[in-house]
Amino acid sequence: MLPFEDYQDKPQTYVKHFFLENYLERLAYNIFNSKRPSIDFAYIDGFSGPWRSDAENYNDTSFAIALKTLKKIKRQSFRPGASKSLRCLFVESNPKSFADLKGFLSTVKGADCEPINDEFETAVDKIAGFVGNAFSFCFIDPTGFKDLPMNSLKPILDLPGEFLINFMYTFINKHLTNEDDDTRGQMDDLFGGGNWREKIAEKRNEGLEREDAIIETYCERLKQVGKVKYVTSTRVLFGTADRTYFYLVYGTNHQKGLVEFRKVESRTVEEQEKVRNILKYEQRAKRVGTDDLFAPLAAPISARQRSFDELRGRNLDKMEQKIRNLVRLGPCVYEKCLDALELPYVWEADIKEILKVMQQSDVIELRHKNPRGRVATYGTVIVPK
Ligand SMILES: C[S@@+](CC[C@H](N)C(=O)[O-])C[C@H]1O[C@@H](n2cnc3c(N)ncnc32)[C@H](O)[C@@H]1O
């Protein structure tokens, strides 16, 4: 994808595309190198654009980035005798954007591409038909919150694959408690009905921040409505303000996907912080005047926003508690512990670390598959003492 400098006034889009590209790379690698003799992969972009694109060949759009990444990984994955296909479906409702999208897709080689000029909500059954038995990844990236009624997403949530939804937190938060009937109805649709308001209130009473209560409730509702095994999220912040712009909400029935999601999240956190530090530096330099070279350094730029450390700390505590509770029930394999990766900003290395600490403090014994193994990994049996 293009470097950050080419996304000047849209740093959140850069971070979103960074995440998408890195995740698709891992997903496609795992799919196209799977041991199954034949595999079909269907990529769906439900709100394709182009939207605010100003790069040559639409290189700053999700559809161009996804296609380039998926085709590259498919080309590189070679297993004799294995048959694999890549088909992609792009939905866009705006006629002008659709015409541009269609023009671009007509030049694409190496993947079957189908554009649909429709509203995502009305296209869901067509999408499900297009996916069939393929493994699917559905990217759902609306501009607001009105076009995403959870119950109409059901055919997508039921697909044998994964999804990534842009939960437009800034707008949702702003309108969440609007009392006019239209907005109340749209919010009910977004959260898929149910008693979501009470759920948020309950979480607030338990001490959660409003923002955490909202995103947790949304993920839980998706899990219930779609009967998806894992639903989690990661945050994308404003360019310079220490506030959430949107969340990328991810659902999968595969633990391997969850592990990959968190790996990509950890890389994205670093990238996002790098970008935000540059932007903050530039903003400060502009404010104090560029000829005062030392002024920007006088007020240090935070290496990481405070709330990230708080959130990660809280989730690390929750992860530790989950693992201690799990181990108390009796021996279990390492893989069981990885379910704790549903907690945002908890990474696999954290799980290995807590298991090491528990071993050192004689709470558990680690029985490795490989007798020379030191660190818990796939196949390690954790035995309580
Ligand atoms: C945020 S933009 C997508 C950006 C794109 N995913 C990217 O990252 O490059 C949302 C797009 O969805 C289109 N759109 C809006 N409402 C829609 C709907 N109900 N169904 C399908 N497309 C819609 C808009 O015209 C716009 O192009």
Contact 184, 178 (CB under 8 A): yes
Count Cβ atoms within 10 A of the Cβ of residue 205 and give its class: 0-12 exposed, 13-18 middle, 19 or more buried. Answer: exposed
> Does residue 12's CB lie within 6 angstroms of at least one atom of ligand 1?
no
> Does residue 51's CB lie within 6 angstroms of at least one atom of ligand 1?
yes
Domain 4-276 fold: Rossmann fold (3.40.50)
Residue 85 vs residues 70, 102, 136, 257: alpha-carbon distances, Å: 11, 21, 12, 20
Rounded to 5°, angle at Cα 277 from 274 and 279: 110
pLDDT value of position 300: 45
pLDDT value of position 303: 43
Distance, in Å, from the CA atom of 347 to the CA atom of 66, rounded to the nearest integer, reads: 25
Domain with CATH 3.40.50.150 in the chain: 4-276
pLDDT value of position 78: 74
What is the pTM (predicted TM-score) of this model? 0.95
- Asked, as a colleague might, if the bond just before 155 is cis with ω within 30 of 0, I would say no
For the CA of 16, the nearest atom of ligand 1: 8
Domain with CATH 1.10.10 in the chain: 306-384
- Structural element, H or E, at residue 136: strand 135-140
> Does residue 147's CB lie within 6 angstroms of at least one atom of ligand 1?
yes
Contact 47, 119 (CB under 8 A): no
Pocket test for ligand 1, best of 51, 145, 164, 170 (most atoms within 8 A of CB): 51
Residue 142 vs residues 240, 245, 246: alpha-carbon distances, Å: 23, 14, 11
Contact 191, 149 (CB under 8 A): no
Provide the β-strand partners of residue 163: 138, 251
Strands 230-237 and 38-45: unpaired
What is the DSSP annotation of 322-360? HHHHHHHTS-EEHHHHGGGGGSTT--HHHHHHHHHHHHH
Distance, in Å, from the CA atom of 82 to the CA atom of 71, rounded to the nearest integer, reads: 16
Which residue matches tokens 């989730």?
Answer: 315
Distance, in Å, from the CA atom of 253 to the CA atom of 210, rounded to the nearest integer, reads: 28
For the CA of 45, the nearest atom of ligand 1: 6
pLDDT value of position 37: 77
Low-confidence stretches of the chain (pLDDT < 70) are: 81, 290-306
Distance, in Å, from the CA atom of 23 to the CA atom of 263, rounded to the nearest integer, reads: 9
> Does residue 60's CB lie within 6 angstroms of at least one atom of ligand 1?
no
> Does residue 122's CB lie within 6 angstroms of at least one atom of ligand 1?
no
Q: Which 3 state secondary structure label does DSSP give 251?
A: strand
Q: How far is the CA of 151 from the centre of ligand 1 (A)?
A: 19
> Does residue 97's CB lie within 6 angstroms of at least one atom of ligand 1?
yes
pLDDT value of position 179: 87
Q: How far is the CA of 153 from the centre of ligand 1 (A)?
A: 16
CATH architecture of residue range(s) 306-384: Orthogonal Bundle (1.10)
> Does residue 232's CB lie within 6 angstroms of at least one atom of ligand 1?
no
